[in-house]
Chains A and B, each alone.
Chain A
Amino acid sequence: MEAFRAEARGWLEDNLPASLRGGAEAIESALMRGERLGGDAELWRRRLAEKGWGVPTWPVAYGGGGLSTAEAKVLAQEMAALGAGNPMLGMGTSMLGPTLLESGTEDQKRRHLPPIARGEMRWCQGYSEPGAGSDLAALQTRCEDAGDHWRLNGQKIWTSGAQWADWCFCLVRTDTRRKHDGISFVLVNMRQSGVETRPIRLIAGNSPFCETFFTDARVEKDDMVGPLNGGWTIAKRLLQHERSGQGGGGRIRGGGASLPELAETYVGRDESGQIADADLRGRILANAMDARAQTLTLKRAAEEPRGNQDPGATTSIMKNSGTRIGQDKAELTLEILGAQGLGWEGLDFSDEERAAVRAWLGGKATTIYGGSFEIQNNIIAKRILGLPDPLGPARNQTAS
């Protein structure tokens, strides 16, 4: 493994443009804003695509690097050490790709995976609808057989990045008589006249999500993943990949200065050197200890053998604890900043102060999207703890 580490380090040093060292966050936030990469970032994308290391564990045949999990871990460490961003990041690499690898046909893998691996296609997720949020299986977007293709009519909501996406993986209703067993999983080309997107302005002032309307939109016959009416199983599997990349799988949101550092500046210390407000000190401390426990748990989860790499139901635990700790941290940040933590615009407030306000508001989404805090608790109760379904037979009633 040390030989591979040397190889990875050497390749990265040769190929990562100097201007991008330490620029991981800049690349990732540009991708989050839907920007097309240019200049050195575009050069880096092409080099990484050529090597397949944007998706290191995917098979070489589909544009991946063909690395083992252990090698990919080493590569990630070496990339982190150089602050190298991954220009392929997105729902294609984190969610659809792993799902297609598991459940796609050979033809689907060959058509869709390489453009994702090269960072050339941007994907969005068409799951939620106005009447199907936590009760996702109540979705009603109709998908009908139109002979040589499928015809799509309906509305999706909370479609992240739909306004700049090239493709959408979408849950649709193919049978109105059965609820879960009447859902199929299809891949929709967003670049067609039957698709319209409208950004939704959120409380943080930004618009990361859209409403997406399908009016006689066309889906090719060979772009249904899994069997007709067999989409729910695939949808749930994909959600596990999604959760493992959220609060849970990932770090705790709310970066920047640590809370004790902020408290030192905005609250001060008492004569004994402690954060001046004892109650605030206690709550900052509790948050820091929770965050440490979360980090140790992520580490433990990564080290423990997990059979077939199944992200499984434990991702629900990590999502709930991680998102809650991140939200607590954002609330504490605001409280520490005091009046300076209430600014919206203008030069009376620093960039960091305004960013803290936006992050606090934006972070409220973390316990709602990807299955809300309450839905995760339902999953833990049923799938891990084996408690009875509170809805009983009502859960599987036909969508009306």
Chain B
Amino acid sequence: MMHRILVVEDDPHLGAGVVENLRAEGYEVESVADGRRALEWLAGNACRLVLLDVMLPELDGLTVCRTLRERGDNTPVLFLTARGDPIDRVRGLEAGGDDYLAKPFHLRELLLRVRAILRRWEWYQSASAAEGAVLRFGGNEVEFRAFRARSWNGVGQELTEKEAMILKVLAERPGEIVSREDLLERVWGYDVFPSTRTVDNFILRLRKRFERDPANPRHFLTVWGVGYRFMTEGEPS
């Protein structure tokens, strides 16, 4: 199936170059030149990936991404920007971005990253569909496709895309040790994050959502120095 990608870039030459190359790779591509139009387009249309410039007229890319996430839209976002400092990368990812590419970039790298994000997303979607899409553990219920969950105390939870993907990777291998690097690779791709501590923060968030006592977890267990182990039945306390 042809993937649809939205390119949001205000520089006409760069925008045209990116659009032409993505089309040549077989993607269906739409493009807009400012943040407000991007949000308008995304409100009425669906796509598999948004390539989003950070410095945009009207609304900057970070605000666009944040607004998308607030709307509950989990469409993956790849930021393209002239600012490539680590702090800018972190800002982009905190705004809900999936990856970050600094200008000027190599065409091959752009295409690789686009493919990687689409592959991860496809994996998540297909795996979620194939397994009936509901994970039950310790009184919690997670609907992967809808990014929704109900925790043991009956509270409804809206999962972010990354939380759901981490949970998915862990749930695929119950009882096994999954390293932080594995989680990074499967959920974010290669060199996106400056540190694996980010994974730890997401695990903390999952514990708060699904553990009866987040300080003494029974499902999301830390394996010191390696990574995490997910127990569906719960570790006896």
Q: Is chain B a partner of chain A in the same complex?
A: no
